[in-house]
Amino acid sequence: MLLSLCLVLQAPATPQDPLAAERAVVTRIFERELADGRSYAILAGLLEAAPNRLSGSEGAARAVDWCRAEFERHGLDAVRLEKVMVPHWVRGEKNSLQRVGDAKPIPMLSLGGSVGTPQGPIEAEVVEIKSRDELAQLGERAKGKLLFFNQPMDPRQTSTFHAYGGAVWQRGSGAIEAAKVGALGAIVRSMTLDLDDFPHTGAMRYDEKLPKVPGVAISTLAAEALSRELAGGKAVRLRLELSCETLPDVESANVVAEIRGREKPDEVVVIGAHLDAWDASPGAHDDGAGCAQVIEALRVLRALDLKPRRTIRAVLFMNEENGLRGGQGYAKQHEHELEHHVFALETDRGGFAPRGIGAVPVMHAELAPLVGLMTPWGCGTLFDGDGGADISPMGPAGVPLGELLPEDSRYFDCHHSGRDTLAAVDQRELELGAAAVAATAFLVADYSGTWPRAKVETR
């Protein structure tokens, strides 16, 4: 622990271990993080300061201030806010879904961006579809009714993210599809593999050429119950009242800090996560964990006095959940220097035990042996990957993208719901992820060679 970086990096690269110096640095980072890491305390602090931090809210503003102060407290370089305008959707006070004539509430959350019911509650029969095929076969059956999207995530998928990817069209486009068939609203089964009482919200879209109908998510247990009732041939009438609405855009910010490079300070490795979270969730895994890991990665590198050749820049993006204005804003504001961004690494898949790093194939030859140094901590595998949403706007400029890939079994149990709490995050797992972000960023930023450029399409 007392060795300085200079001594470590002067350790000769033996033929037996050409990466001896890098291996020693990785070991120092992981051991320090596991013995004396702050990632869990940082996450707890963020959640206490800003338990609800949807873009445009007071909570989001508090999260910005809290993270800037945290970067400053750790003595990092160039701490600053980079302004972006963000959408301001609010849930409002009155939100309810129930069977007509039955006061018992159905566990429900409005989808982010949904219109409300300012003309008064909607009362209508429910029509269920369980697949895109059933949607295509609907004909006139859903006209004047509420369309219930009940295709579960497919548990057979090897990745829960693939299972999510196969089902999330219902949440994202359900209101558009409902409008196309003349339905009055979209009721969507929550995007989770678990059966429980928690509704999971998330973003939805409208087609400006179609009527805007409200969209809500109901818990998976409520979806199962409703489906059983309908299967019995019963007509079910629901009453939906929503006071959510979209207000004018609000000024907000990405929060940025750096460790300046010692040789090539203008070449940049970005490590990123997102500050905003759904209002109905503490957002501990999504993406408080990522923010804590990014802050902690710079803190632990500074605490170990590890100065890489290139600059490592932490970016806590605003508005990943419902607009991506932070990611788009960063790419635009830094357009002139993206050619010197050698890598961008995102962490937005929860604070679970890391399995490895996903990165664009062009990086693999040089990056695989470096990532492989993390094998003793269970995260030394380099997978194909193309980063997350926030860094995607940098892709078209040729910035190679990557992301931290943790164990994913539990992620969607929590995602966008009241279950995404600090208690769902394990301290050691979070620390392993923070160490993986710090080690990967350092190794890429300190690499003596030249990193290849990527050319990918915008998403």
- The single residue among 24, 30, 148, 282 that binds its own copies, judged by CB under 8 A, is 30
Could you tell me the smallest distance in angstroms from the CB atom of residue 48 to its own copies?
18
Cα 140 versus chain centre, distance = 38
Task: Give the closest residue to 138 by CA, choosing from 109, 179, 190, 93.
Answer: 179
- What is the DSSP code (8-state) at residue 107? P
Looking at the Cβ atoms of 361 and 376, the one nearer to its own copies is 376
Dihedral Cα 302, 307, 310, 313, nearest 10 deg? 0
Judged by beta carbon, residue 229 or residue 407, the one nearer its own copies is: 407
Cα dist. 392→44, 289, 371, 399, 454 in Å? 28, 20, 22, 9, 12
Span interacting with its own copies, options 61-69, 176-184, 273-281, 426-434, rule CB under 8 A: 426-434
* CA angle (10 as vertex; 9, 12 as ends), nearest 5: 105
Compute CA distances 383 → 129, 184, 371, whole Å: 36, 44, 10
Whole-angstrom CA distances from 327 to 48, 53, 236, 253, 389 are 25, 17, 43, 11, 8
Contact 110, 244 (CB under 8 A): yes
Whether the ω angle into residue 287 lies within 30 degrees of 0, i.e. cis, is: yes
Measuring CA to CA, which residue among 377, 408, 398 is closest to residue 457?
Answer: 398
Please, which of residues 369-398 interact with its own copies by CB under 8 A? 376-378
Question: Which residue, 14 or 158, is less far from its own copies as judged by CB?
Answer: 158
Task: Name residue 358's beta-bridge partners.
Answer: 383, 403
Does residue 158 interact with its own copies by CB under 8 A?
Answer: yes
Beta carbon of residue 30, minimum distance to its own copies (angstroms, whole number):
8
Among residues 264, 421, 427, 452, the one that binds its own copies under rule CB under 8 A? 427
Among 12, 120, 139, 155, binds its own copies (CB under 8 A): 155
Is residue 156 a contact point for its own copies (CB under 8 A)?
A: yes
Window 318 to 357, contacts with its own copies (CB under 8 A):
353, 355
Choose among 98, 224, 234: nearest CA to 152.
224
Q: Which residues of 203-220 are buried (b: 16+ CB within 10 A; e: fewer)?
A: bbebeeeeeebbbbbbbb
Q: Is 432 in the site for its own copies (CB under 8 A)?
A: yes
- The least CB distance from residue 23 to its own copies, in Å, is 13
Under the binding rule (CB under 8 A), the answer on residue 196 touching its own copies is no
What lies within 8 Å, CB to CB, of 336 at 6+ separation is none
Minimum CB–partner distance for residue 37 and its own copies (Å): 9
301 and 312 in contact (C-beta within 8 Å)? yes
| From candidates 22, 258, 296, 413, binder to its own copies by CB under 8 A | 413
- Count the site residues for its own copies by CB under 8 A: 25
CB 432, min distance to its own copies, A: 7
User: Which amino acid appears at position 287 of this protein?
Assistant: D
Q: Is residue 335 annotated as a catalytic residue, yes or no?
A: no
Q: Which is nearer to its own copies, 147 or 425 (CB)?
A: 425
Burial track 289-320 (b if 16+ CB lie within 10 A, e otherwise): bbbbbbbbbbbbbbbbebbbbbbbbbbbbbbb
Which DSSP letter does residue 287 get?
Answer: I
Which member of 22, 128, 320, 321 is catalytic?
Answer: 320
Q: Of 160, 173, 254, 319, which one interacts with its own copies (CB under 8 A)?
A: 160
Between 79 and 437, CB nearer to its own copies: 437
Q: If binding is defined by CB under 8 A, does position 426 make contact with its own copies?
A: yes
If one asks whether residue 197 binds its own copies (CB under 8 A), the answer comes out as no
Per CB under 8 A, the segment of 31-39, 211-219, 259-267, 318-326 that binds its own copies is 31-39
Rounded least distance, CB 247 to its own copies, Å? 39
User: Rg (Cα) of the chain, in Å, rounded?
Assistant: 23
330 versus 377: smaller Cβ distance to its own copies: 377
Kindly tell me which of 38 and 239 has the beta carbon lying closer to its own copies: 38
Could you say whether residue 407 binds its own copies (CB under 8 A)? yes
Residues that bind its own copies (CB under 8 A): 30-31, 34-35, 154-156, 158, 160, 193-194, 353, 355, 376-378, 407, 409-410, 413, 426-429, 432
Q: Which residues are catalytic?
A: 320
